[in-house]
Amino acid sequence: MNPTLLAAPRGTTEKTGKVRVLIVDDSVVIRHLLREALESDPGIEVVGSEGNGQAALAAIPLVKPDLVTLDIEMPVLDGLEALKRIRKDHPRLRVVMFSTLTTRGAAATLEALSLGADDYVAKASNAGKLDESLGRLRSELLPKIRQFFTNPGRAGQPALPLLTPTRSFPKSKPRVLVIGVSTGGPNALAKLIPALPSRLPLPVLIVQHMPPTFTRLLAERLDAASPLRVLEAEDGMEVAPGRVIIARGDYHLRVRKMGPQTVCALDQGPHENSCRPAVDVLFRSAAEAYGGAVLSAVLTGMGSDGQRGTETVKAAGGYSIAQDEPSSVVWGMPGAVVEAGLANQVLPLEKIPPEIVRLVENG
């Protein structure tokens, strides 16, 4: 088996050691770029390419892919309609959406994620220089594909035991809730945030790995579905109880004391963990501003962003929750927290909101 694939996915991949990918895009140029980018990885095999959703649905039973890259805007049958049928007929098939960095593209991407897409790649509105486009596809798409078929550091190891609720409490009553999330995050947040009560007596700060425009639309969708006020972060915005603030795409989010108030501070400092915004940045600043009164939660996501930030939270006396593996789309970020021994509790997603309420009310 190819060393890049530590855990073989379903189907024919077990025989070839490669992830079988079907490309679906109405642009011949994009299909060519995708094929070239994907085939640069020896652990990936392109098993076909189609120009619309209808052709893709016909091809799936024939080529038996492990993953489909699916453009949103296509003739005959667009990506959203194709996705609905894929989820009905092939529920285990991984799907990565392609969308433009526009308001329309961002809205369609969030809709695709709510319909069951596993992840997405935002592409520029025009192809630009082919070399640059190819390089970006390799750097962004290949890790997103690998995340579903590898489990770094866990191959051949038994599943980690869950840390069930012990009815323990933080050392200090929480005065802020900070959340870090990536792959699978919009759906996780759509379940968690609306489940929090309208009179939650502390602010909530969230880093979701997403580009600009996407974070604003995510905040608007959550705000419409939640009893709490959900906003995209602005520099100088007050961090107040009952307010949920989502980091702006491409900006780190920190909290800062300004006299009696705590406010948001945005900056475009260096990426951390290849991310901006980064969970570590938010968690560190929360620990500096609130000391041991920080309640942190690391949810589904690729990579390990949030681990070092959680270390800082715990060192200051804060309390940490990690989402469990079965309920995570990708158990990278929460898994890193658990494996480092930093989680006070490891919980399924549906049990996190009531536990947050318990800790806040009784901490």
**Residues belonging to the active site:** 182, 209, 305
Q: Which residue has the tokens 């795409």?
A: 249
- Please tell me what DSSP assigns to residue 210: -
Residues 6+ positions from 46 with CB-CB distance below 8 Å: 21, 22, 23, 34, 35, 38, 39
Task: Report the C-alpha gap between 247 and 108 in whole angstroms.
Answer: 20
Task: Report the C-alpha gap between 323 and 301 in whole angstroms.
Answer: 10
Omega prior to 277 cis, within 30 of 0: yes
Beta bridge partners of 246: 206, 232
Nearest to 330 by CA among 359, 306, 363, 355: 306
Phi/psi at 39 (5° precision): -75, -5
User: Using an 8 Å Cβ cutoff, are 243 and 203 in contact?
Assistant: yes
Q: What is the DSSP string of 117-157?
A: --EEEEE-SS---HHHHHHHHHHHHHHHHHHHH--TTTTTP
User: What CA–CA distances, in Å, run from 39 to 36, 51, 134?
Assistant: 5, 19, 12
> At 196, which amino acid appears?
L
Q: Which residue has the tokens 């969308």?
A: 99
Quick count: other Cβ atoms within 10 Å of Cβ 14? 12
HSE, side-chain direction, 13 A CA sphere, residue 145: 31
